[in-house]
A = this chain, B = another copy of it.
C-alpha cells in the first residue's frame, strides 16, 4: 500500500448559511482519504460503529479506498454537530459524541504495515505513536494534530513531531505548539525538533512550506462560494500526499512544491459543497485548471534593478 491514513470517520451534522445536512459522511480520515484517492491508492485505518450506514461504506469503496483497516465496533459511530456562521471563519461545535471512537486503538492489519507514506490525522498523540510502533518505518511520516492535544498533551504531540518527516498544521497550531508568534520562527522551531519539512496552513491566506525544500508559499484559490469549510485541511493533506506518491520520488523539491499547489486546489473544491460531495465529482482536468490559475496568479518576471 502506498498511503495509509489513520484518523476519524464521523457522521457530521453541519449547518452553514448555505444549508444544513444531518449525519453526512465526515471525519478527518474520510476527507484525507477521498482527496488522496483522486491520485492513487490509499487505505484508511479508522473505527466506525455498528450504525455506520452501508451507503457510506460503499461510497468509500467506490472511491477505491482500501477499507481493510476500517474496524466496525458494536455501538454508535462518532458524531459531530457544528454550525458555521457569517463568513464561516470559525466553527461552533454544538455536540460531540465520541461513540466507539472513544475506545479506538488503531490496529494496523499486516497488509498495511509497510506503506510508503502514513498520514497520522489528529487523533490522540499516544495513538499516533502506537500506529508508528506497529509499522515498519515508512519512507514518509506525515502528522497533523488539533489544539485540544496541543493543550492537553504537548509533550506527546512533540514526540509525534520528532518522529515525523512532515508536519502539517495551521497557523494557530504552529504558534501554540512552539510558543512562537511569528510563523517563520515557529516553523524553524518545529524543524529544529527533527522533521524535514513543515507546512503551515494559513486558511484564506494560503499555505507555506518550510524546511528542506522550502521556503515555498502558495496563495489560496479564490473559491467563488465557500459552502462548508469542514475538511479543508484534511483534504489538503490527503491530496498533497496522494499527488506526491503519484510522482514516485517523495523528496523531489519540484514535486513537493506542486503538491502544495494541488493540496490547496483540492481543498478549494472540497469547501464548495458539504461532506465529500464535491470531491466525489471533481476531475483531474478541473484540478489542473486551478493549478494553472494559481501559477498565473503568482508568476512574475525577474526584477532587475540598478
Interface residues of A (CB under 8 A from B): 86-87, 89, 180-184, 202, 204-206, 208, 214-219, 222, 226, 254, 257-258, 260-262, 283-285, 287-288, 291-292, 295, 297-306
Determine if A206 and B204 form an interchain contact, defined as CB atoms under 8 angstroms apart: no
With A287-B305, A306-B284 as contacts: A300 and B257 at CB distance below 8 Å: yes
- Closest residue of B by beta carbon distance from A226: B182
- Closest residue of B by beta carbon distance from A287: B305
- Closest residue of B by beta carbon distance from A283: B306
Q: How far is the CA of A25 from the CA of B225 in the complex (A)?
A: 45
Q: How far is the CA of A206 from the CA of B297 in the complex (A)?
A: 14
Question: What's the minimum C-beta distance from A285 to chain B, rounded to whole angstroms?
Answer: 6
Q: Provide 20 A-B residue pairs closer than 8 Å at the C-beta atoms, listed in order of the A residue.
A: A202-B205, A215-B297, A216-B297, A216-B298, A217-B219, A217-B297, A219-B219, A254-B300, A254-B301, A257-B299, A258-B303, A262-B303, A287-B305, A288-B305, A291-B302, A292-B303, A295-B300, A295-B302, A295-B303, A298-B298
Task: Report chain B residues within 8 Å CB of A298.
Answer: 216-218, 298-299
- Closest residue of B by beta carbon distance from A182: B87
Determine if B261 and A303 form an interchain contact, defined as CB atoms under 8 angstroms apart: yes
Determine if B297 and A181 form an interchain contact, defined as CB atoms under 8 angstroms apart: no
Question: What's the minimum C-beta distance from A232 to chain B, rounded to whole angstroms?
Answer: 14
Question: What's the minimum C-beta distance from A225 to chain B, rounded to whole angstroms?
Answer: 10
- Closest residue of B by beta carbon distance from A208: B219
Determine if A299 and B297 form an interchain contact, defined as CB atoms under 8 angstroms apart: no
Q: How far is the CA of A92 from the CA of B144 in the complex (A)?
A: 35
Selected from B181, B214, B295, B300, the residue in CB contact (under 8 A) with A87 is B181
Determine if B303 and A288 form an interchain contact, defined as CB atoms under 8 angstroms apart: yes
Question: What's the minimum C-beta distance from A187 to chain B, rounded to whole angstroms?
Answer: 9
Q: How far is the CA of A87 from the CA of B185 in the complex (A)?
A: 10
With A300-B258, A306-B284 as contacts: A215 and B208 at CB distance below 8 Å: no
Task: Report chain B residues within 8 Å CB of A182.
Answer: 87, 204, 226
Task: Report chain B residues within 8 Å CB of A217.
Answer: 206, 219, 297-298
Which of A183, A202, A305 counts the most B-chain CB atoms under 10 A from its CB? A305
- Closest residue of B by beta carbon distance from A204: B183
Question: What's the minimum C-beta distance from A189 to chain B, rounded to whole angstroms?
Answer: 13
Question: What's the minimum C-beta distance from A190 to chain B, rounded to whole angstroms?
Answer: 14
Determine if A288 and B304 form an interchain contact, defined as CB atoms under 8 angstroms apart: yes
With A86-B181, A305-B285 as contacts: A297 and B214 at CB distance below 8 Å: yes
Task: Report chain B residues within 8 Å CB of A303.
Answer: 258, 261-262, 287-288, 291-292, 295
Determine if B181 and A89 form an interchain contact, defined as CB atoms under 8 angstroms apart: yes
Q: What 16 new A-B contacts, CB under 8 Å, besides A218-B298, A219-B219, A287-B305?
A: A87-B180, A87-B181, A182-B204, A183-B204, A184-B204, A202-B205, A215-B219, A258-B300, A260-B300, A285-B306, A288-B303, A288-B304, A288-B305, A291-B305, A298-B298, A298-B299
